[in-house]
Structure 1
């Protein structure tokens, strides 16, 4: 991307941030946003009732602190109990619950629907309190992904007819358009945002096949019809389907000679939203995962083909009813228009994994420039220049001035004592760190408050940044095939003085994963919980041994989430908030 495009993107992004800040920070006391000025309803989806409770608590705190615009209905809807239903199923149930609340009045509402369900196994620091509440290093008070989403979409409600805008919690879309242009959601059917992307990116996203007669690459924005939508296609499928474009215009920011337009957020007008609500009635209770992108958008456009309904290559769990349900979706949505807004100067960032989170917050100079990200945001006792290129990121934390944070590391929602050294490329999240401790390079540490045997306890989970928590193996093979910090579980247990049979799994299933492995000690206080997990970690990395205190019980990440104590975890953050705002920060 040329400097000209980057500059335009930075200016446009700062304008959106400024407009959102004026809504949440500078409004006269008690003034609410006016109809049409902002969203009527903001919906966040949750995977179950426990996650819904966590989201509602945090939203309530944000509203009380006036961190969100007033006069907006903020709702959290959880998926029904039972099988996982995917973000497509969540969309259908959310629309049904909106209809139950608003009835016919829903036809006049502008709704933002943010999918934030799931356990965030690739970014476990967001597992307990949610991806949409992931910290971002800007703003005072600190932005989370929710505020950033609202800021980036701040211009949309004014240019949008009643309907629903569907988005996900772990991505950021930046764009610039000419002064005379505006992103308008005013057409029937679906209207999707499209971003020019390399062909390699198209293989992991949705790709639009556009009408060749309408392609508009001669301005920063274009409105075209989509003939067909391809979900995670191969490069050959992109070429064969006519999705590949040639970069012949100075108005398209991508420098690749060939590119495709990939998906992110889409709008559904109110009449089509009614059709989706009727779809849920026709399908009945869902027993499989539906994709809000692959299963809805592939049914749209005049050249949509039903053959995708039997392709389960990208499906995690292949339920027998999936193909039949996809075919019902296809026939109900067939003929519905798919309009595409080409954002020719735009960027799409995904931050849903530990490695992405570290890179974008510490090493990505381009995103830092575009968003104005800081090295230290809403923190106390950080001695360096918060806007300097430190190579690390500290957010919502209280650090003793004598501690050090290595390049490429993120510290969030933590208290860090004197003389502590945090290595390179690590994440320390929601932790209470004792004086003098040394955190190794490339590790993830996150503390949770839990209810253990009717008492309050603390568990600090510790993984390698590149460990795969979702990887599942047969039960008989877990000791050698599951890797923790790059070592087999058998090696780790030997350093901790545990026998193979001492490691049990929280899920009574035929397969095992790091997510379900009981590896982490339950401690009576947060400080000793962190210290003990660091000692375990150092024993493995140094080849030494660690001995658990007598009668120590172990817990998995999966179990810790099931018995987490939300109020206590949020109280810890409130204590940080108080010390940061008052400038005290005493450990």
Structure 2
């Protein structure tokens, strides 16, 4: 659960801080008219070329909509040759790539980063523990927050807003951020004026510190006395990391390098280039920052296994880091008030979203965000339902979470469930409690895959190590489905490979509905029709890992935009039904570049309305909202049809009587 430890006064400060950040973000979209300096460069790291392409698709969609700062250069830099080089290796690689680019245009080989403000967001990774984010990237995971301009938000959007005000008050340098962590704070809290490396911390419960970095300071000093990487409770207690209230100063993932230190790290990157090209994994926090602390011990550092085995190659890396970076000043700035939110497993993600809605309602988090849910269904579901950028026709909704889904169906949720990127027009769709369902369009080869898994499943855990599928032990589900392990893991050479991530469970199909049929039965294999199971056996099946690397992310991004259009248009129509003022409805159509497209959807809905008076009111509202004369013309045409429909032509007999009366007069 999300535990902020903040009172209402601190939460009010966070709300004001968000307003400050938002104002700076909006100003950054105005380019040269902005009164603050922008980030010169924003870099997203990616684990491979495919993920880099996915991130480019997300950035392009935002750029085309005018939602990226115009004076900031955005780049995506993947790990080399498909190797996984870790956050530290990725940091060094980004420095090398940027130095080459900057020196090519401004040949100052000694000071390539001087005078520049650079934002680097680490966003590589497969999101194995959050599978529905694998294709789009955890960086673009949805957040139940409707941005002030009406858009549904994502982790990337929240980070961009949070960091928009920093370039105006911090010196040149490089800010590194983690792409799976959301830090809510006011940018006015940070100065980052110290030389060397500056870490950024926030108070969090001690048990959270066992999975992250923890800063240790002495008294009022900002010097980092110790930096503990994923420490045990005993280690935190022994090293003085625990504060009187039982909390610790957790590493938020934000790290600042001044230009001089960035140049020193660049020389380290050149020295380690060969090892990095061989795929040695280097952790930014445990391998590069840890030895900068005052109490760091050389032997302990070399032998540290908190993030994996201390291989000979890694120890060679650590020796070079120690020699190059050890004397770098290392200080920490502490954010307060602030909230540290880490997006980990599927279950943790849902807990964070639900608790976030409860705690951050004053900051704009809502249970229904840019979504259309029939009022009757919403009343039944109450606060247990979370929706972001989703459209639902109706059904029985309970403690579910719907993300980027278009559900022209009667949706039956038997308990807490997650749907992401699901589109269907079938008569009914039922999901059992504790289940997650997502759909992925593929482009190599073209087709569809619907993936089903449990909210409590750990896709990285093997069958022999207590792994589960649909929250059941693997052996229990395999027995109920009459499926063998060899059916799911053909050719597996070791039991450790028999994980949910590698299980060939999900048929590749030609249509969305077929793929949904061949996945939904797995919820209840004991009652599944034999014909359906036979089709599943005969189909070409992919694993979670195989399906996400084939995802057509550009199509996913387009569909997200189409759902938002549909939702906004439906809310406009609902406003017309309630006879709201047209001027109030105009904002539902969004920015000028989006209005015509969404207005057409409203027009189609009005044409199909059974209420004869509704089209006239709706067209008039569209004319006010879009300032397009054609909608007023359609309103008059609709009125004319109504007049004709309600005006009965006189019968010949009555017409004759009228003529006779006129002759008598």
TM-score interval for Structure 1 and Structure 2 normalised by the shorter chain: 0.7 to 0.9
Offset from partner CA, 1:269-298 (integer Å, 9 cap, x none): 111111111111112321321111111221
Unpaired runs of at least 5, structure 2: 1-5, 571-600, 609-665
2:177 is equivalent to residue 167 of structure 1: yes
2:467 is equivalent to residue 468 of structure 1: no
Given the superposition, is the C-alpha separation of residues 192 and 506 from structure 1 closer, same or farther in structure 2, using an over 3 Å criterion? farther
Distance across 1 between alignment mates of 2:125 and 2:322: 26
Q: 1:503 aligns with which of 476, 483, 488?
A: 488
Match of 1:418, SS state, is: strand
* Aligned residues of 2:231 and 2:306 also touching (Cα < 8 A): no
TM-score, normalized by length of structure 1?
Answer: 0.87
The aligned counterpart of 2:247 is: 259
2:418 is equivalent to residue 427 of structure 1: yes
2:2 is equivalent to residue 14 of structure 1: no
Distance across 2 between alignment mates of 1:83 and 1:317: 18
2:539 is equivalent to residue 567 of structure 1: no
Count of aligned positions? 550
Given the superposition, is the C-alpha separation of residues 521 and 373 from structure 1 closer, same or farther in structure 2, using an over 3 Å criterion? same
Given the superposition, is the C-alpha separation of residues 317 and 126 from structure 1 closer, same or farther in structure 2, using an over 3 Å criterion? farther
2:383 is equivalent to residue 390 of structure 1: yes
Q: 2:354 aligns with which of 348, 357, 362?
A: 362
Question: What pairs up with 1:468-487 in 2 under 5 angstroms?
Answer: 468-472=458-462, 477=464, 481-487=466-472
Q: CA deviation at 1:427?
A: 1.1
The aligned counterpart of 1:252 is: none
The aligned counterpart of 1:158 is: 168
* Aligned residues of 1:41 and 1:72 also touching (Cα < 8 A): yes
Q: CA deviation at 1:339?
A: 1.4
* Aligned residues of 1:495 and 1:544 also touching (Cα < 8 A): no
The aligned counterpart of 1:528 is: 514
* Aligned residues of 2:416 and 2:434 also touching (Cα < 8 A): yes
Question: What pairs up with 1:102-251 in 2 under 5 angstroms?
Answer: 102-103=102-103, 104=108, 106-137=113-144, 138-139=146-147, 140-175=150-185, 182-212=189-219, 214-215=220-221, 224-246=222-244
The aligned counterpart of 1:251 is: none
Distance across 2 between alignment mates of 1:414 and 1:508: 38
* Aligned residues of 1:34 and 1:71 also touching (Cα < 8 A): no
Distance across 1 between alignment mates of 2:538 and 2:443: 17
Match of 1:280, SS state, is: helix
Offset from partner CA, 1:41-87 (integer Å, 9 cap, x none): 11100000010011111101110011222221111000001542111
2:538 is equivalent to residue 548 of structure 1: no
TM-score, normalized by length of structure 2?
Answer: 0.77
* Aligned residues of 1:141 and 1:378 also touching (Cα < 8 A): yes
The aligned counterpart of 1:459 is: 449
RMSD of aligned residue pairs (Cα, Å): 2.8
* Aligned residues of 2:455 and 2:471 also touching (Cα < 8 A): no
* Aligned residues of 1:113 and 1:164 also touching (Cα < 8 A): yes
Distance across 2 between alignment mates of 1:403 and 1:22: 43
* Aligned residues of 2:198 and 2:331 also touching (Cα < 8 A): yes
* Aligned residues of 1:13 and 1:370 also touching (Cα < 8 A): no
Given the superposition, is the C-alpha separation of residues 551 and 292 from structure 1 closer, same or farther in structure 2, using an over 3 Å criterion? same
* Aligned residues of 1:9 and 1:370 also touching (Cα < 8 A): no
The aligned counterpart of 1:77 is: 77
Q: 1:275 aligns with which of 264, 275, 280?
A: 264
Distance across 2 between alignment mates of 1:192 and 1:262: 10
Larger mean Cα displacement after TM superposition, 412-421 or 562-571 = 562-571
Match of 2:223, SS state, is: strand
Distance across 2 between alignment mates of 1:428 and 1:300: 44
Greater Cα radius of gyration, structure 1 or 2:
2
* Aligned residues of 1:416 and 1:435 also touching (Cα < 8 A): no
* Aligned residues of 1:44 and 1:76 also touching (Cα < 8 A): yes
Offset from partner CA, 1:458-500 (integer Å, 9 cap, x none): 1111110010101135xxx58xx53212333344334444344
* Aligned residues of 1:506 and 1:516 also touching (Cα < 8 A): no
* Aligned residues of 1:198 and 1:260 also touching (Cα < 8 A): yes
Q: CA deviation at 1:332?
A: 1.2
Q: 1:293 aligns with which of 285, 290, 295?
A: 285
Distance across 2 between alignment mates of 1:40 and 1:410: 37
Larger mean Cα displacement after TM superposition, 563-572 or 141-150 = 563-572
The aligned counterpart of 1:50 is: 50
Q: CA deviation at 1:142?
A: 1.6
Question: What pairs up with 1:93-104 in 2 under 5 angstroms?
Answer: 93-103=93-103, 104=108
Match of 2:248, SS state, is: strand
Q: CA deviation at 1:523?
A: 1.4
Question: What pairs up with 1:27-42 in 2 under 5 angstroms?
Answer: 27=30, 31-32=31-32, 34=34, 36-42=36-42
Match of 1:420, SS state, is: strand
* Aligned residues of 2:377 and 2:396 also touching (Cα < 8 A): no
Distance across 2 between alignment mates of 1:271 and 1:423: 58
The aligned counterpart of 1:221 is: none
Larger mean Cα displacement after TM superposition, 492-501 or 281-290 = 492-501
Offset from partner CA, 1:228-279 (integer Å, 9 cap, x none): 2111222332233233333xxxxxxxxx2x4321111111111111111111
* Aligned residues of 1:423 and 1:440 also touching (Cα < 8 A): yes
